[in-house]
Amino acid sequence: MDTTKLSKFYKKSHEEKIDALFEAGVISDEDKQTLLSNNLDLNLETGSNMIENHLGNYSLPLGVAMNFVIDGTNKVIPMAIEEPSVIAAASFAAKIISTGSGFSTDVPDRQAIGQVTLKHVDNMAEAREIILNAKQAILDRANEAHPSIVKRGGGARDLIVRILEDTDQPDFHAFLSIHLHIDTKEAMGANIINTMMEGIAPYIEELTGGTALLRILSNYATESLATSQCVIPAHALKTGKYTGEEVRDRIIEATQVATIDPYRAVTHNKGIMNGVDAVVAATGNDWRAVEASVHAYASRSGQYRSLTTWEKNEQGDLVGSLTLPLPIGTVGGAISIHPAAQLSHTILGHPNVNELAGILASVGLAQNLAAVRALVTYGIQKGHMGLHARSLAISAGAKGEQVQQVADLLKQAPHMNLATAKEILKDFFK
Ligand code: NDP
């Protein structure tokens, strides 16, 4: 990628931006023409094959975040999101992080989890032993239920058994939960896993005498973790009257607050997910699955906490880290069908699923840095409302060049809201 073609990207016109991506080698000529003709939507036929009672398509803006250097490689990050300032914030934070050594990621071997949950098991301990002794036969049956993933080098790898007991719920009888750890290769794997779970349930019933109540994947993707880390020299954090050291220490303190206070942690983590969800959506992945998994992971200690850690090293640098469970894929679901998802994978340079997981964790880390840095210095509204002004101008009815003109006047007005935007439009342009 020739990053020199991408400098001052945000200042370019729409056409210039597309051209710069082409010149930098990020997209092909065909992609360029698709973008220029704004032809990224699903067609009606595809949409009606994807969901039921289809009426039309619902578009989100697709943009790109810049300045990401992940594991030594420059990346342009596609993001599908309606919220102003998220892309600007990610790009800004990535620039700060690139003054250090950029992002370094760690994605251990990923395995998805499927569960068969049994009721009416007479002797839990005995059933557990029977299942553990039949482990290989159960794994074999799971693989026979979905042979194509085995041909691709994946398949069921491990089995664990959990006895679910709860003395607090009235009329509760214990359940037996059998987990399979499954390598679904490049797929998120929901359909593979569900097929496997339905495939092994009768055999498990036969072995234990129990009845299968549930047979489905677990969205708590604790075996699909991705970590991104960064080391930022303190001087790179300086802003206005705040020294870099002050900003660093305030970011550390803000993260301490988000580690002990769930009211703050939820907002802190929402900021992380602003970036993560936007890339998950852009790449055609299931953001409900990722959201469910990530927030459960934030509660793994028994209390909902910050997903990021920010600390100071011996040199006085700010060291950040984010680990996320990421049930994602690079094939399957909407990924191979949606033209915008295909373009997003192209923009990212067609990463494999492990690389995509590392990219998502890096975007989350950048997003968190941007939000917390703004919060502990001049506040979040300064940057946010500047961009929000454009949305208000459009909502008020501004068109073309009027949008920026109304937004500029709105930024100087005592109350930045829709009513003021409408007044400005009426006074100056009618
Ligand atoms: P798909 O079933 O759409 O795609 C997976 C299939 O892609 C594989 O079975 C495999 O089929 C094929 N494939 C091609 N290349 C590869 C490769 N390199 N590695 C692995 N597979 C490959 O999708 P998923 O099973 O991943 O399921 C994801 C979808 O399921 C999402 O859309 C999600 O919204 C949905 N879903 C989510 C649930 C949840 O999260 N709780 C529940 C149910 C559905 P083959 O080998 O036969 O060619």
Across the range 312-328, mean pLDDT stands at 98
Three-class secondary structure assignment of 65-108: EEEEEECCEEEEEEEECCCCCHHHHHHHHHHHHHCCCCEEEECC
236 and 214 together in one domain: no
Kindly report the protein residue whose alpha carbon is nearest to atom 34 of ligand 1.
286
What range does the domain containing 268 cover?
40-108+224-378
Question: Do 77 and 188 share a domain, yes or no?
Answer: no
From CA 403, how far away is CA 393, in angstroms rounded?
Answer: 6
Residues 272 and 296 in one domain: yes
Residues 214 and 75 in one domain: no
Please check whether residue 33 lies inside any domain of the structure: no
Instruction: Select from 310, 309, 365, 277 the least CA-distant residue to 97.
Output: 365
Asked whether the beta carbons of 390 and 404 are under 8 A apart, the reply is yes
Within 10 A of 377 (CB to CB), how many other CB atoms are there? 19
- Closest residue by CA, ligand 1 atom 23: 332
Asked whether residue 297 falls in the same domain as residue 362, the answer is yes
CB 83 within 8 A of CB 287: no
Q: Are residues 354 and 234 in the same domain?
A: yes
CATH number for the domain including 126?
A: 3.30.70.420
Is residue 383 pLDDT above 70, yes or no?
no
Domain count, the chain: 3
Please tell me the pTM assigned to this model.
0.92
Do 136 and 208 belong together in one domain?
yes
How far does residue 87's CA lie from ligand 1's centre (Å)? 29
What is the pLDDT, as a whole number, of residue 278? 98
Q: Are residues 264 and 366 in the same domain?
A: yes
* Ligand 1 atom at shortest distance from the alpha carbon of 334: 32
Of the listed ranges 33-47, 205-219, 321-335, 344-358, the one predicted with least confidence: 33-47
Ligand 1-lining residues (CB < 6 angstroms): 148-149, 152, 184-192, 217, 219, 286, 289, 329, 331-334
Q: How many Cα atoms occupy the beta-carbon half-sphere of 325 within 13 Å?
A: 22
Instruction: State how far the Cα of 229 lies from the Cα of 48, in Å rounded to an integer.
Output: 41
Instruction: Note whether 191 and 134 are same-domain residues.
Output: yes
Residue 9 lies in a domain: no
Residue whose Cα lies nearest atom 43 of ligand 1: it is 190
Q: Hey, whose CA ends up nearest to atom 2 of ligand 1?
A: 191
Distance 41 CA to ligand 1 centre (A): 22
103/245 same-domain check: yes
- Among 218, 246, 265, the domain boundary falls at 218
| 3 part of a folded domain | no
Residue 199 and residue 234 in one domain = no
Ligand 1: centre distance to CA 323 (Å): 24
Last residue of a domain, one of 199, 218, 237: 218
* ipTM of this complex prediction, to 2 decimal places: 0.96
pLDDT of 145-174, one tens digit each? 999 999 999 999 999 999 998 878 887 889
pLDDT above 90 coverage of the chain, percent: 83
Domain assignment present for residue 28? The answer is no
Could you tell me if 295 and 246 lie in one domain? yes
